[in-house]
Structure 1
Amino acid sequence: MHVKTLDKRVVSRAKARGIDVLVYAPHFTRLPEIRRRAGRHSDDDLLVVPARELFTGNWQNRRHLLAVGLSDPVPDFISFEGALAEFESQGAALCVPHPSMLNVSLGRPEIRAYADHIDAIESYNAKSLPYTNKRAKTIAKEAGIPTFGSSYAHLRSTIGEAWTEFDTAIETEIDLVQALVNGVERRVVHQSGFGHRLRNLAEFAHLGFENSWGKADRLFFSGMEPTHPDHIAYAGRFDDVAVY
């Protein structure tokens, strides 16, 4: 339901693990580029669905939202409410990744307040530590919102470590959006054992890189992100909800 990396080796591993659909949502990449990559790696055996994990708010108080089924690009660093309005206007499914993880996720109060807008909550993330996944499952149960599981793979080796089995055929992007929005029955599954734990820890270690050097590189050396609301590609459409 959510991967960050995509190439021929990722596709090969997904197929070997029996995965039918990958939701591809890399950071700081505009939707047209995500769609192009997803289309290039989709075939009769594997559907790659383009999606966006948005950074709403500013760096100090950002909240991640996973949107599946967007028809038009939406930038990062806009207000939470602005993102919700855009998702609803485009008919996209709103999923909450890694709830209550550090300072990058929706917590219990926000999930309760916006429960009517949320279609699914991630209850198992292969990047998260066990207690974090246990808390996520509890939060979803308390809110009465359907769940999903994902590898959240930033590393190829994590592909297929966790997945979601829907009680319906998912053959197109629209099929997945409808399954999420309509709350179709599903089961969250993940690998277990020592190998799974090692891959989990490798992903968690990668999180440290993302929030140290990776963050510094973004902030100081990379210039304007292609998903910044001031980017020329958005033609000023999000000026009223931009936080930078």
Structure 2
Amino acid sequence: MTAGESFRVDMHVKVLDRQVVERAKARGLDALVYAPHFERLPTVREEAAEFSDDELLVVPGREVFTGTWQNRTHLLALGLDDPVPDFIPLDEAVAEFARQDAALLAPHPTFLNVSVSRDDLATYADRIDAVETYNPKHWPHHNQRARKLAAELDLPSFTSSYAHLRSSVGEAWTEFDRALDSAAELVAALKDETPRRIVRRSGWRHELRCAAEFAHLGWENSYEKIDRLFLSGTEPTHPDHIAYDDRFEGVY
């Protein structure tokens, strides 16, 4: 990994290929957290390993959709040993992450109908390791509210590009005050509340990329949602999928 006194991580991206890796390096990042929708943990691990090298660490993560599709709550977990499916109750997911001693993050809190609420944050404050206080898909008042919640509940912060588009990678990052050499060290830094800075780009190019990401949200929740609900069949991360060996039978 890049030597130095800090470590710059885009803490949540949905896209990963050679173009993404080159963009991340060009923007001075040391690591990406790759957590695509509806891909099981072994697949995410394989993809992360394929694109990691001496210049850029790609850390596998899982953004788990808890609850039903219509009323889902997203949680971001790093450091999982065993796969955890989507669509299980929030309390079941939090308990499973705690069992595995994973780092548990709250992405885009209180945003639309896909995020942890203030009550959720308060209920699980002793289990949540960081709250996202800047997200390019947010409007300014969403980011302000997220910062306020993190401060009120005395929870550490993180940020990410939340990139669904390649051009968004590196628009925001979390900068830790020491170098980290592995995914395990990043998980430990999150759990140990290692000091960090929340950093984002600015200017008209940043605003355009934020607008593009927000526009993508509309597509993601229209055609893609219909495809997921009615056309694709059982998701590979559905708790009834054979890959989970009935470990989550009866929780959906």
- TM-score, reference length from structure 2: 0.95
Residues 129 and 200 in structure 1, CA contact (< 8 A), matched pair in contact too:
no
1:13 to 23, 28, 37: 23
> Secondary structure of the residue that 1:160 maps to in structure 2?
coil
123-132 or 14-23, which deviates more: 123-132
> Secondary structure of the residue that 2:12 maps to in structure 1?
coil
Q: 1:78 and 1:24 mapped to 2: Cα distance? A: 21
> Secondary structure of the residue that 2:20 maps to in structure 1?
helix
Residue 46 of structure 1 corresponds to 56
> Secondary structure of the residue that 1:116 maps to in structure 2?
coil
Residue 81 of structure 1 corresponds to 91
Residues 39 and 48 in structure 1, CA contact (< 8 A), matched pair in contact too:
yes
Residue 43 of structure 2 corresponds to 33
Residues 169 and 175 in structure 1, CA contact (< 8 A), matched pair in contact too:
no
Residue 158 of structure 1 corresponds to 168
Q: 2:110 and 2:190 mapped to 1: Cα distance? A: 21
1:199 to 188, 202, 209: 209
Residue 128 of structure 2 corresponds to 118
Residues 79 and 241 in structure 1, CA contact (< 8 A), matched pair in contact too:
yes
1:2 to 12, 23, 28: 12
1:138 to 148, 157, 163: 148
Q: 2:166 and 2:106 mapped to 1: Cα distance? A: 23
Amino acid at match of 2:99: S
What displacement does 1:61 show? 1.5
* Identity across matched positions, percent: 62
2:72 to 40, 49, 62: 62
> Secondary structure of the residue that 2:77 maps to in structure 1?
strand
Q: 2:236 and 2:194 mapped to 1: Cα distance? A: 34
Give unmatched runs, 5+ long, in structure 1. Answer: none
Residue 243 of structure 2 corresponds to 233
Q: 1:241 and 1:92 mapped to 2: Cα distance? A: 20
Residue 184 of structure 2 corresponds to 174
222-231 or 121-130, which deviates more: 121-130
> Secondary structure of the residue that 1:85 maps to in structure 2?
helix
> Secondary structure of the residue that 1:49 maps to in structure 2?
strand
What displacement does 1:108 show? 1.0
> Secondary structure of the residue that 1:77 maps to in structure 2?
coil
What displacement does 1:241 show? 2.2
> Secondary structure of the residue that 1:59 maps to in structure 2?
coil
Q: 2:199 and 2:191 mapped to 1: Cα distance? A: 20
Q: 2:251 and 2:101 mapped to 1: Cα distance? A: 19
What displacement does 1:89 show? 1.0
> Secondary structure of the residue that 2:174 maps to in structure 1?
strand
Give unmatched runs, 5+ long, in structure 2. Answer: 1-10
Give a deviation string over 1:116-165, Cα, whole Å, max 9, x none: 11000000112222221111111111110000010000000000100000
What displacement does 1:70 show? 0.3
What displacement does 1:210 show? 0.7
- TM-score, reference length from structure 1: 0.98
Give a deviation string over 1:142-200, Cα, whole Å, max 9, x none: 11000001000000000010000011222101101000001111000000010000000
Amino acid at match of 2:212: A
More helix as a share of residues = 1
What displacement does 1:240 show? 3.4
Q: Output the aligned Cα RMSD.
A: 0.7
Amino acid at match of 1:157: S
Amino acid at match of 2:141: Y
Give a deviation string over 1:78-101, Cα, whole Å, max 9, x none: 011111111011110000000000
Q: 1:91 and 1:130 mapped to 2: Cα distance? A: 33
